[in-house]
């Protein structure tokens, strides 16, 4: 019997629609006799018996509805069919609609390029054909790659730039298509199982998690509901320089995704379809016509504006939309409604607060950004209130509380429409807030370096201020949230609950999520800066040099001063105390923090924290400027442990703090610790860092429990695996050490990951859903406790792996290789972030930040930081023990799967070409020492691949990441030419030659600028192709 094809018709909403011709393809191939799971139940269905019951047409096709009926006749549970299981039956089911979208976009792009420059278009087609040939050839056939390497040698700088731009924009368009496709798959998955709920029926969705906890976990609805109410997820947006796309282009790519989604609609009339495709062509043309390159390095203010843009254009709508769906899901699954002001996920920011190693983030910058966030919040909320005023025409059935609230508003023409009366007053107060912010910003611009920054004034009660006859500014979100909730309760108490559940409910959720500052700012500074500030103060007070004291003396003195009521000095004397610029900067930062008002600040993070004194020093500096526990204004202080040694010592540090008299009371029994993933991996290698992170969290939890402290871990993860990233977010959360989350999860979202996870409303809602589901599931998850022999194996492996990793990166020739065969030196030309690439400009690799360390190796497709030392560690352990750990211990399995996934993205031939082109002596001869290092790295890579596959018992390094595997198979052919072009461009820039000879005096400057542009664009393209940069 021939293979039969089942045509999966795509749906929009709950309506069945026929797919446009360009999307029709054999979406799923099922082979007779092949057994495949279509149910979460234990039973399986035989494809042969299923086919025999189908009424196929002459082409072997069947309508999807008929297919579903056949499944029901086979007594399978349609609702349990999952998209992932259908995908296992044939990869075309995943890629067909995506490939059609990509073909459409690349054709449009090709037409645009051909109209502008036919020669570039012809080169583009030639290189694309060769790269696709390489993708389909055996791993030993590199003739297509050799052709590309030879061909680029003869390209002019202008042609090379054109070609780089073409492939870079192709990859950006592929990413835009994938955004649409991710949402398409979610809809198709729900349709396939007949699911009609507000959230998708998936394991990593709140819907699937709620159902699983009730059905499989045997939990009561009360227990699950209570856990959800207590849950708190805080996603911290950071300005780490890993987003290589300009904001103006990100907006265009978002529009392209939305237009592709429109083309999926079966209700589009022919003319509307033509118009939508024309709009798509215009958008692609705008992308091609734009400049991809940031010509000026962004300021911290511009970085913060980027963060605000995500909040304003996506999260402002996505957060209340998701909260609404989660509430509806709780009604269905738990028969309970969420409190109207409950939003399980909130956002914070480091943009404008992170000054670690960034001299551009001054106290004035932090003050300015905090003011602009208040200003933007007031503007957005005024738009909300404008709509509420229009809808607030109800004139009866007011609650007593509503009548009392309306009576406090004195000057209003709304006599009978009491909701409008209150809303109008709130509008006037927000306008006053806006005007106050504008006035402060104007004053700051007039005197940018003034120490006399105005603080947020203290507020009386809303009612009292209203009686004064003027509408004062609102600075505390509670003063806005309170009246909104009174109105909501009043409407619900009468016959207007549906009105309450509309725009008013969304506004309440927005205020709950974003407050009046949009995103609270964390402040971050390196521990040495606080040490030097305290040292300057003790010397000024003739107490000696604080930095020369031992840890015990520091802790004793700091604790004593914290308990004292007297300040260290009079703040008005600060200017005359003779402190150096760095000390003044540190002190003025905390002075500014004391003036920012309610809701403006989050945690104070201390990077490179090593002792209890680092935490106490920051607390003492806060006390000096009035940020105390007694006043309720003290920022929580979060030490960041980010090296192997610091992680190892972290539990001891926390115990020293908790044991201090009055300390636990001062922090109100709650503490926050940040775990550094990037720098620990850069310091010790992947295996050793992961184990240190695991053990340190275990021990800190035990210490916290001993002193009755609720401990929240703040996870500083990046986009790449080497920096703690994990594309399988749900599994990653469940794999954390036991008792380390418990409903409280704080994590960074960095650079390009912000765009990937929150760049569009649909994707943002999906990300929020995964976080919510994962943290809720983890609360009840039965973690696997590692056996003693597993711990011994991990400890021994970590030592071997760490020793090997450190020996490798400390070798002088390895350092030369890194700086020669990767674009590490050239990356400094990218205007990505405001922060320098090194903490110490004169330092070596040890002072290099984790991001450029990862970035450089990602560009060459070696991804070395994620696996260096891993193979040696695995080879040192018993193979049977490793296989047992992989099968039975999720934490270990996640580590190995992520390393395997990263190894699968490596390309030996591509990385070898960088070495061939760049690792040369002054003349044309190759540098033998560097080639020896490169050969050793490649041998390590091969052996590490083998060690990982031996551990997993699987010959596919992408095991567990099928969707990512298919995604990379689509994009890799477009990345290969960029790698070849980048290596050639770097060679020319370094040796100063054009294709065919030396630079002429007339063309030198122009040609070098063109080559530099080509390099920058190639970095962008490769980052988009790899789906991450640093």
Q: In the block, which residue shows the tokens 């240190």?
A: 692
Report the relative pairing of strands 601-607 and 636-641 from DSSP bridges: parallel
At 427, which helix (H) or strand (E)? helix 418-446
Name the CA dihedral angle for 356, 361, 364, 366, rounded to a multiple of 10 degrees. Answer: -70
End-to-end CA distance of the chain: 51
Neighbouring CB atoms inside 10 A of 316's CB total 23
Q: Which of 75, 97, 86 is nearest to 20 (CA)?
A: 97
Is 181 annotated as catalytic?
no
Tokens of 573: 């004397």
- From the list 128, 151, 240, 905, the catalytic residue is 240
Strand partners, 523: 604
Which residue stretches of 781-927 are H helix?
788-809, 812-821, 850-859, 870-875, 879-888, 890-904, 908-918
What is the spatial distance between Cα 687 and Cα 846, in angstroms, rounded to a whole number?
Answer: 19
What is the spatial distance between Cα 760 and Cα 283, in angstroms, rounded to a whole number?
Answer: 17
What is the spatial distance between Cα 998 and Cα 1006, in angstroms, rounded to a whole number?
Answer: 14
Task: Write out the DSSP string of 444-495.
Answer: HHHSTT-S-PPPPPP---HHHHHHTTS-----STHHHHHHHHHHHHHHHHTT
Assess contact for 603 and 524: CB atoms under 8 A. Answer: no
Burial class from Cβ neighbours inside 10 Å (0-12, 13-18, 19+) for residue 675 reads: buried
204-217 burial string, b = 16+ CB within 10 Å, else e?
bbbbbbbbbbbeeb
Q: Which of 948, 802, 790 is nearest to 884 (CA)?
A: 790
Tokens of 600: 């403006």
Q: Which of 597, 602, 594, 585 is nearest to 625 (CA)?
A: 594
Is 425 annotated as catalytic?
no
- From the list 682, 715, 905, 1027, the catalytic residue is 682
Burial class from Cβ neighbours inside 10 Å (0-12, 13-18, 19+) for residue 457 reads: exposed
Assess contact for 236 and 349: CB atoms under 8 A. Answer: yes
Q: What backbone phi and psi angles, to 5 degrees, belong to 118?
A: -55, -35
Burial class from Cβ neighbours inside 10 Å (0-12, 13-18, 19+) for residue 759 reads: buried
Which sequence positions are flagged as catalytic?
240, 682
């Amino acid at each position: 019997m021939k293979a039969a094809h089942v045509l999966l018709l795509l749906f929009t909403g709950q309506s069945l629609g026929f797919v446009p011709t360009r999307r029709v393809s054999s979406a799923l191939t099922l082979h007779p006799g092949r057994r495949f799971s279509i149910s979460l139940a234990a039973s399986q269905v035989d494809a042969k018996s299923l086919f025999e019951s189908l009424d196929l047409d002459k082409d072997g096709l069947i309508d999807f509805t008929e297919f579903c009926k056949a499944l029901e006749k086979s007594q399978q549970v349609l609702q349990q069919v999952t998209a992932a299981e259908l995908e296992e039956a044939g990869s075309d089911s995943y890629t067909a609609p995506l490939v059609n979208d990509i073909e459409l976009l690349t054709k449009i792009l090709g037409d645009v390029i051909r109209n502008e420059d036919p020669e570039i278009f012809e080169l583009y087609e030639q290189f694309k054909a060769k790269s696709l040939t390489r993708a389909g050839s055996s791993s030993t056939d590199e003739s297509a790659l050799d052709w590309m390497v030879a061909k680029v040698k003869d390209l002019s700088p202008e042609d090379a730039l054109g070609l780089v731009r073409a492939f870079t924009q192709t990859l950006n368009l592929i990413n835009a298509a994938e955004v649409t496709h991710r949402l398409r798959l979610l809809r198709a998955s729900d349709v396939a199982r007949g699911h009609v709920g507000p959230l998708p029926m998936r394991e990593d969705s709140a819907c699937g998690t709620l159902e699983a906890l009730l059905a499989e976990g045997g939990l009561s609805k009360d227990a699950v509901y209570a856990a959800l109410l207590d849950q708190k997820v805080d996603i911290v947006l950071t300005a780490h320089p890993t987003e290589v796309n300009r904001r103006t282009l990100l907006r265009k790519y978002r529009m392209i995704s939305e237009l592709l989604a429109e083309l999926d609609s079966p209700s589009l009339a022919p003319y509307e379809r033509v118009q939508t495709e024309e709009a798509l062509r215009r958008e692609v043309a705008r992308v091609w016509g734009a400049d991809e390159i940031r010509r000026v390095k962004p300021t911290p203010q511009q970085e913060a504006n980027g963060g605000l843009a995500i909040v304003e254009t996506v999260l402002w709508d996505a957060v209340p939309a998701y909260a609404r769906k989660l509430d509806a899901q709780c009604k269905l699954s738990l028969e309970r409604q969420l409190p109207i002001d409950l939003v399980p996920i909130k956002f914070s920011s480091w943009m404008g607060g992170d000054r670690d190693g960034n001299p551009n983030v001054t106290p004035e910058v932090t003050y300015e950004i905090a003011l602009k966030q208040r200003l933007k919040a007031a503007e957005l909320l005024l738009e909300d209130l404008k709509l509420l005023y229009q809808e607030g025409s109800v004139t009866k059935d007011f609650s007593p509380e509503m009548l009392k609230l309306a009576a406090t508003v004195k000057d209003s023409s709304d006599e009978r429409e009491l909701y409008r009366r209150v809303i109008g007053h709130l509008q006037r107060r927000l306008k006053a807030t806006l005007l106050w912010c504008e006035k402060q910003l104007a004053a700051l611009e007039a005197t940018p370096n003034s120490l006399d920054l105005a603080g947020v004034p203290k507020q009386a009660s809303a009612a009292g201020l209203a009686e004064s006859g003027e509408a004062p500014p609102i600075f505390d979100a509670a003063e806005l949230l309170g009246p909104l909730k009174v109105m909501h309760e009043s409407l619900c108490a009468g016959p207007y609950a549906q009105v309450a559940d509309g725009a008013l409910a969304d506004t309440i959720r927005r205020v709950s999520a974003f407050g009046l500052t949009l995103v609270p700012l964390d402040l971050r500074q390196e521990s040495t800066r606080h040490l030097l500030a305290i040292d300057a103060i003790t010397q000024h007070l003739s107490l000696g040099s604080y930095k020369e004291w031992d840890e015990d003396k520091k802790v004793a003195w700091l604790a004593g001063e914290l308990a004292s009521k007297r300040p260290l000095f009079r703040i008005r004397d600060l200017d005359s105390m003779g402190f150096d610029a760095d000390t003044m900067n540190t002190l003025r930062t905390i002075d500014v923090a004391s003036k920012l008002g309610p809701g403006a600040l989050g945690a104070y993070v201390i990077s490179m924290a090593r002792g209890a004194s680092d935490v106490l020093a920051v607390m003492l500096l806060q006390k000096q400027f009035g940020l105390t526990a007694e006043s309720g204004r003290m920022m929580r202080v979060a030490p960041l442990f980010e090296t192997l040694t610091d992680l190892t010592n972290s539990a001891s540090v926390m115990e020293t703090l908790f044991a201090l008299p009055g300390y636990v009371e001062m922090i109100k029994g709650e503490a926050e610790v940040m775990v550094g993933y990037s720098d620990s991996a850069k310091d010790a290698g992947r295996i050793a860092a992961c184990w240190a992170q695991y053990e340190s969290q275990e021990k800190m939890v035990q210490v916290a429990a001993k002193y009755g402290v609720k401990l929240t871990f703040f996870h500083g993860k990046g986009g790449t695996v080497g920096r703690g990233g994990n594309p399988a977010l749900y599994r990653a959360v469940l794999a954390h050490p036991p008792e380390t989350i418990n409903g409280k999860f704080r994590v960074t979202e960095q650079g390009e990951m912000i765009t990937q996870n929150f760049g569009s409303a649909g994707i943002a809602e999906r990300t929020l859903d995964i976080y919510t589901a994962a943290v809720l599931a983890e609360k009840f998850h039965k973690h696997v406790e590692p056996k003693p022999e597993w711990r011994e194996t991990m400890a021994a492996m970590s030592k071997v792996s760490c020793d090997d990793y450190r020996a490798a990166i400390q070798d002088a020739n390895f350092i030369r290789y890194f700086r020669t065969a990767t674009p590490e030196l050239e990356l400094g030309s990218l205007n990505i972030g405001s922060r320098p690439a090194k903490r110490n400009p004169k330092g070596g690799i040890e002072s290099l930040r984790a991001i450029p360390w990862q970035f450089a190796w990602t560009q060459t497709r070696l991804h070395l930081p994620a696996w260096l030392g891993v193979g040696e560690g695995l080879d040192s352990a018993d193979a049977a023990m490793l296989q047992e750990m992989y099968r039975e211990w999720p934490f270990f399995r996640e580590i190995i799967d992520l390393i395997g996934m990263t190894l699968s993205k490596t390309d030996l031939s591509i990385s070898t070409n960088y070495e061939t082109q760049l690792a040369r002596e002054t003349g044309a001869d190759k540098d033998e020492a560097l080639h020896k290092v490169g050969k050793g790295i490649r041998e390590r890579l091969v052996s590490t691949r083998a060690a990982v596959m031996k551990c997993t018992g699987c010959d596919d390094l992408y095991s567990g990441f099928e969707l990512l595997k298919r995604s990379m198979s689509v994009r890799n052919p477009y990345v290969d030419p960029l790698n070849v072009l980048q290596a050639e461009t770097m060679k020319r820039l370094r040796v100063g030659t054009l294709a065919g000879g030396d630079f002429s005096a007339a063309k030198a400057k122009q040609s070098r600028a063109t080559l530099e542009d080509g390099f920058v664009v190639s970095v962008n393209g490769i980052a988009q192709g790899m789906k991450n940069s640093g």
